[in-house]
Amino acid sequence: MTKKIALIYTGGTFGCIGEPLSPMPHESFIPKLKRILPNQQQIDCFTSKNILDSSAATAKDWLQLIQQIQELQLAGYENFVIIHGTDTLSYAAAVLSRFLQSSCRVILTGSQYPLLNIEGNDTREFTDAIDNLNSALDQVVKVTNGVYLAFYHQVFHASTVLKVHTTALDAFRGQKHDHDLEQNQQPPHFNEPLLIKNEHFQRAEQLNILNWMMLPISKEKFADNLKQLLVNPPDFLVIQAYGTGNLNVDDEIIEIFKQLKQRSCQTILTTQVPLGGMDQRYSVSQWIKNAEILTNDCASLADLYAKILKIYLQYPTSQQWHDHWFDSAE
């Protein structure tokens, strides 16, 4: 297996300069980036199609990145390090994990502080950018095939990652790469890599997801809110309930869920609690069946987003999304 690494720069704080921070043009940044790369490794630098603040990234940007990786695979690259902004780093990691699976080795990283000083003529006196990048470059030729996220001297399984602090260097949590994923966190065996084609970009731009985190309001008000969606429903409605997936419903709410499904909106029940996952041991499981809604079986909220995106691109109809949601190897 080749040790050659493709380093792809997509933007983010890592490449910003000035005060307030703004991105340095990539034509100027890449030569400065090359100067701090370890000499003992064979690293080729690339830029993504769009260099942007990660808070502006959408599915199309990540699909274009995946397509770029797949094209580089055809050119002989097997190891990839992605520099990405931290705001949506967990989402980028989860999407790449769902779509690339174990077809190559990918580590995403970023930084809370820029690589360069305000003037952009030297490395910053205090920065986590160099350590995070070096960790990713060191580990990408050592880990097993798959997608990971490296941050603050830690490497996580990409599908499990959550950003837990806005400014601290130790900003992410997830399942460490040297620990096996729990059974319910493992990608299903049927879930092969998806070859990205240009037609996927336009379809991805049409995907509409609404995410509601429940707050303590009456069932009547919750029903009123749901009714508003019947006029122009999203493709997917994600409801972050309490605890292990507990949601207080009645016959009216269940009926609205059914009406949403009839209007091609798939409702997915998940939990707003970051750790522990879903557990339908209680009577709520029966109303879920009656309401014809789906439940979250993913490793993180970002992984749920990635699963929605992939199944949306794989199947053309809402009913197929519902029918294939829990697909697994026989």
86 is in an annotated binding site: yes
Distance between CA atoms of 147 and 149, rounded to whole angstroms? 7
Q: Are 3 and 38 in contact (CB under 8 A)?
A: no
Catalytically annotated residue among 2, 10, 13, 166: 13
* Helix, strand and coil percent figures for the chain, each rounded to 5: 35, 20, 45
Radius of gyration of the chain (CA): 21
318 is in an annotated binding site: no
- End-to-end Cα separation, the chain, in angstroms: 32
CB neighbour list of residue 175: distance below 8 Å, 6 or more residues apart:
156, 157, 160, 181, 182, 185, 299
87 is in an annotated binding site: yes
Q: Is 13 a catalytic residue?
A: yes
Q: Write a three-state SS string for 234-295.
A: CCEEEEEEECCCECCCCHHHHHHHHHHHHCCCEEEEEECCCCCCCCCCCCHHHHHHHHCCEE
Question: Residues comprising the binding site for substrate?
Answer: 54, 86-87
Catalytic positions, written as ranges: 13
